Amino acid sequence: MKEEKRAQIMQKTAVVWFGALVCCALWGSAFPCIKIGYQMFEIDAADTAAQILFAGYRFTLAGILTVLIGSVLNRGFLIPKKESFGKIFKLSMLQTVLQYFFFYVGLANTTGVKASIIEGVNVFVAVLVASLLFQQEKLTGKKIVGCLIGFAGVVIVNLGGSMDMGFRLTGEGFIFLSTVAYAFSSVFLKRYSKDENPVLLSGYQFITGGIIMCVIGLLMGGKVHGFAAASTGMLVYLAVVSAVAYSLWGILLKYNPVSKVAVFGFMNPVFGVILSALLLGEGAQAAGVKSLIALLLVSIGIYVVNKKEGDSV
């Protein structure tokens, strides 16, 4: 009965709206903060090893924070069951290692504004994966049209002009690949959360993935310098972003359809563009006509994908 009551609360529109928007605001802030973190820790855009090591530090810390917070809320230390380790490893590879390998390297080779808009496509990929590969929901004509509209937004933002010329695999390409990994991780998290605590899954997959990335970064010769009060504070903030956002997102996915939660993903590029403009001085790009059109198309596409007959959302 307690679980049923919790489900009723987490399925309320106001709760989903508030929780999802908090997640998106935190994720949106990650775009400029990672770039600022690179500057603070003296990480060059071409230093892939240091970028991976930096990500490893962030996610290992995020996992520890997630487990501690979850344990307090659970009134008991969160310890995974034996049969949970396989699920945790799969999630760590998708949600942390692959997603953020592509994300961190890609972000170093493109602008925060551009990356945040391309990341908006993760909603469409998640809907397609959930519908076509895992049959978690039905793929309708509206969802197909929405995906095409959203993809048009991604194409427009890569047309050049005031943004930049061309498409780079290690920049925009890697950002897109990170969205694919994210989509699969969302579907698996939804599936595994039926029988598992989503906070436990998020925490331990972060720790596992973070350690793997630390090892990879160190083996590649990566080094992170410049630890000071401000830079360490930025690292802790980025860890908190992951710990809070992914745990809350996982809880929302546990009690709601993927599409109902994913519809709010359009706020990621919105927050990312605004915060990148404010913190990185990319105001010209954020205010550019192509960026605004791309954001509009991404937002319309996600709305169309998720709108149902008689649904006010």
Of 113, 138, 139, the residue nearest 28 (C-alpha): 113
278 vs 269: CA distance, rounded Å: 14
CB of 263 closer than 8 Å to CB of 298:
no
Question: What does the domain layout of the chain look like in residue ranges?
Answer: 2-306
pTM: 0.77
CB of 178 closer than 8 Å to CB of 103:
yes
Banded model confidence at residue 124, pLDDT cuts 50, 70, 90: confident
- Between the CA of residue 292 and those of 22, 116, 127, 277, what are the distances in Å? 22, 13, 24, 13
Tokens matching residue 106: 């890609």
pLDDT beyond 50 at 313: no
Banded model confidence at residue 279, pLDDT cuts 50, 70, 90: confident
| Rounded mean pLDDT, 60-72 | 91
CB of 6 closer than 8 Å to CB of 198:
no
Average pLDDT of the chain is 80
- Tracing tokens 């504004």 back to the chain, one arrives at 113
Of 294, 271, 220, the residue nearest 33 (C-alpha): 271
| Rounded mean pLDDT, 101-119 | 75
Above pLDDT 90, what percent of the chain?
20
200 vs 68: CA distance, rounded Å: 10
Non-local CB neighbours of 122 within 8 Å, separated by 6+ positions: 179, 182, 183, 265, 268
